[in-house]
Homo-oligomer: A and B are copies of this chain.
């Protein structure tokens, strides 16, 4: 029999558990107040934080399936929080951008996010989050290199 295996120290498992926990925890902050789903918030955040982008870029950036992005974009557009403009060079591409209303919503929720993270950092101690994120970046790099 091979050396023992402890699920508790298996990284995919641990990452998933932590991610689901924190995701739910933060979702409670905006789901009710802004009637927004997670893909929508992610899209809003991507656009609000990095500016004008295409749907494909949003997906690549936040690792969301393109149909998820497509639907989130449709939702946000209907809410008039986002507008599309077609690229004049390549007519397949559409550039996405937040409207004034979208930007306003983004700022409010970003504010929640900042507060949320600050309170977490309060508990964890200074630098703790940065250290975790540096570790995550390494993991992502390793995985993406893995083909």
Chain A residues with a Cβ under 8 A of chain B: 1-3, 5-23, 25-26, 42, 45-46, 48-50, 62-63, 107, 110-111, 113-114, 116-117, 120, 123-124, 128-133, 135-136, 138-140, 142-146
Contact call B142/A120, Cβ cutoff below 8 A? yes
Contact call A143/B25, Cβ cutoff below 8 A? yes
Report copies per complex: 2
Contact call B11/A22, Cβ cutoff below 8 A? yes
| Complex interface: chain B residues within 8 A of A132 (CB) | 11, 132, 135-136, 139
Contact call B139/A9, Cβ cutoff below 8 A? no
Nearest-Cβ distance from residue A25 to partner chain B, whole angstroms: 5
Q: In the docked arrangement, what's the CA distance between A63 and B7, Å?
A: 13
Given A10-B113, A146-B25, are A17 and B138 also a contact pair (CB < 8 Å)?
Answer: no
